[in-house]
Amino acid sequence: MNVTFRQLRLFEAVARNSSFTRAAEEMFLTQPAVSTQIKQLEDMVGMPLFEQMGKKIFLTEAGKEVYAFSRSIIQQFRDIESVVDEMKGVRRGMLALTVTSTCKYFAPYLLAEFVKRHPGTQVHLEVVNREEIVQQLQDNVPDMVIMGRPPEDIDLKSQSFMQNPLVIIAASDHPLAKAGLVSLEQLVEENFILREKGSGTRDAVESFFEERNLKLNASMEMSRNEAIKHAVMAGLGLGIVSMHTLEFELALNRVAILNVEGFPIMKEWYLVHRHTKRLSPIAHAFHDFVLQEADQIASLPQPKTAKRSKRRVTRS
């Protein structure tokens, strides 16, 4: 087969995004141009690589095999670029970063400061759930990952760099919002809107209460922090989220953080990559930047206590 590297890159982008449109935007091409290249690739392979069901596209069995090889080939090319850049002492280039959904509240601030210090750096940022981030680590896709508890069954290098307090929130007019110290026993009678099973937040919350022989009434499960916060504001129950997600809700006095016995649950954020990953010079620079300065740039939001609320982001 006379397959070009360009075709493999386009195929990988379409498969990863499950969309011709998003792949075209990522590669700065028109959708017809991407579709033409994929059709040519399918002609050379002699089998369809995608199948369409309704408005969604899925990989065929042949497509899954080509996808696995394409990711491996693309990663090898990135490794070649990293080696050459390192020999040249290059301090700019492409940074591929994947973060969990909760990290989206502070990761852009880190990237903005980093890019300001390293002009010319291009960043590819993906925001996914824990299941997808674990899969990306298994496939050795991103340069680095920012997440909560790293998986233990993959050969990884992980370093904590910032605290991640999990707090209980209520609507600002909830009776417990004006209470003093709330006991854990009082919470058992409340309805809770929690993250989906398997998420880092859900695992931490369930472990906390199981250790104390208590069980929460999970009246709803939601896969997004935004949905939990809106459900709490609507009066559907209490929520448990990372304090990093609460900047605007606290500033507008839409939610209250409850003073609960044993809370916040203090977790940590980790910078993670495969142990054998060959980091480019720019990835090394980002690694050091996050470990040394992240907690100063992405400070925690605070409840509104005066007419002018504190700014969450400080610039060094």
List the CATH code of the domain at 166-267. Answer: 3.40.190.10
Q: What is the pLDDT of residue 88?
A: 61
Report DSSP state, residue 103.
G
In angstroms, what CA-CA distances link 72 with 68, 83, 143, 288, 291? 6, 17, 14, 27, 29
Domain ranges of the chain: 1-89, 166-267
Residue 15, H or E segment: helix 5-17
* Single-letter amino acid code for the residue at 15: A
Tokens encoding 176: 């417990």
| Chain length of the chain | 316
One digit per residue, the tens of pLDDT, for the chain of length 316 reads 678 888 998 999 999 889 999 899 888 889 999 999 999 999 989 999 999 888 889 999 999 999 988 888 887 777 777 667 665 655 557 889 999 988 999 999 999 999 998 888 889 899 988 888 998 898 888 899 999 989 888 999 999 999 999 999 999 999 998 888 999 998 988 999 999 888 888 989 999 999 999 988 889 999 889 999 999 999 999 999 999 999 999 989 999 999 999 999 999 999 999 988 888 888 889 999 999 999 888 878 776 543 333 334 443 3
Residue among 255, 291, 249, 298 nearest 273 (CA): 291
Q: What is the pLDDT of residue 160?
A: 95
Q: What is the pLDDT of residue 316?
A: 36
Collapsed DSSP state (helix, strand, coil) of residue 91: coil
* Alpha carbons 172 and 186: distance in angstroms, whole number: 18
What's the whole-model pTM score? 0.69
Give the angle 57-66-11 at the CA atoms, nearest 5°: 55
List the CATH code of the domain at 1-89. Answer: 1.10.10.10
